[in-house]
Homo-oligomer: A and B are copies of this chain.
Amino acid sequence: MSGARVQRHGMRLGLRPECLAEYRRQHQRIWPEIQAAIAAAGIRNYSIYHHHGELFGYYEYVGPPEQYAERLQALAAAPRMREWWDLMETMQIPHPSRAPGTWWAEMEEVFHQD
């Protein structure tokens, strides 16, 4: 997606190598509540890639920029989200450089072409 009111985000996280198959499996059958909450937060075109024990996430937020923070808060408070994250976080290893209070580390966009 492109144009006004779209913010792109790239993120990074570690994954315990022994958890790859389970992480993949859980995401193939992600709970409907989680999918609905992601969509309700204005998050679109969300992909997670794995490579050698690391995860890279990419998504687009479509909505008023000034509402982004509060929509992420609503996402965190959505039904079963804490339960889903508890399950994921046992498999993940956060990057030491992440911002306080966050889990994934945000990356810097150095190039974009629509």
Seen from chain A, the residues whose Cβ lies within 8 Å of a Cβ on chain B are 1-2, 8, 10, 12, 23-24, 27, 30, 35, 38-39, 43-52, 55-56, 58, 95, 97, 105, 107-114
Contacts and interface: CB of A to CB of B under 8 A. Distances in A.
A49 to B, nearest CB: 4
A111 B10 contact: no
- Main DSSP-derived SS at the A contact region: strand
Given A50-B107, A50-B110, 9 more contacts: A2-B45, A8-B47, A30-B113, A45-B114, A46-B113, A48-B111, A48-B112, A49-B109, A58-B58
B109 A35 contact: no
A111 B51 contact: no
A47 B24 CA distance: 24
Q: Which 4 A-B pairs have the closest CB atoms?
A: A10-B49, A49-B107, A27-B111, A51-B107
Contacts of A1: 1, 45
A75 to B, nearest CB: 13
Contacts of A95: 51-52
